[in-house]
Amino acid sequence: MVKKGFLEEAKCPWWICWSFDNPLRRLVHNSCRIMEGLVNEGDTALDLGCGEGYFTIDMACLVGDSGRVFAVDIQEHMLKVVRRRAKRAGLESRIETILGSPDRLTIPAPVDFALAFWMVHEVPDKDRLMAEIAAAMKPGGRFLIVEPKWHVSLDSWNEMMKIAETAGLHQIEERPVKLSRAIILQKQNT
């Protein structure tokens, strides 16, 4: 049964993640290059819909010893894999895994950077998602949203951007990401 709410039960099951979360993916999506200039030493970062931690581990490297990464997913199995990967990389002290709720984001501290990679299209209540992300961000914080072109039409993408703008997240620049539509948004300083 699928729960209705802010975040639905997983649309991408854990057992299929190997197909896009593997070493060959670096040929298409180099996570450090994608996040270049967005995640800095000492930052607090959010990997929303982190899956098995493809971006989480590199985020933890980028934030350094003084930074923090919140890895959020609605599947406990995914978070177990993130914890195992973090331990193997010696980064477990920098990463906090958070089991997401279908109704609400639970981010323990404001973030400098947020990433939602190929997941917003799975969220039924995008207005609420964008508002929650904006609320979780520090003033001036940046949000990189990346969506697969084959799942998200240009009309749907433009609608997402209007929702983000309404939530107080303003477009800064497009970011080239293969097979994807990607943009950097920024929370206004208040």
User: CATH 3.40.50.2300: does it fit domain 38-187?
Assistant: no
User: What beta strand segments (E) does 4-154 contain?
Assistant: 44-48, 68-73, 95-99, 111-117, 137-148
Cα distances from 124 to residues 19, 51, 72, 131, 184, in angstroms, run 24, 18, 17, 14, 22
* Average per-residue pLDDT for the chain: 87
Integer Cα distance of 160 and 156 in angstroms = 6
pLDDT values of the chain reduced to their tens digit, one per residue, 190 residues: 333 444 444 455 544 455 556 566 565 668 889 999 999 999 999 999 998 999 999 999 999 999 999 999 988 999 999 999 999 999 999 999 999 887 788 899 999 999 999 999 988 899 999 999 999 999 999 999 999 999 899 999 999 999 999 999 999 999 999 999 999 999 987 6
Task: Give the predicted TM-score (pTM) of the model.
Answer: 0.87
Residue 82 host element (H or E): helix 76-89
The conformational region for residue 140 under phi > 0 = left, psi -120 to 50 = alpha, else beta, is: left
**What ranges do the domains of the chain cover?**
38-187
Q: Strand 44-48 and strand 111-117: pairing?
A: parallel
Q: What is the three-class DSSP state of 51?
A: coil
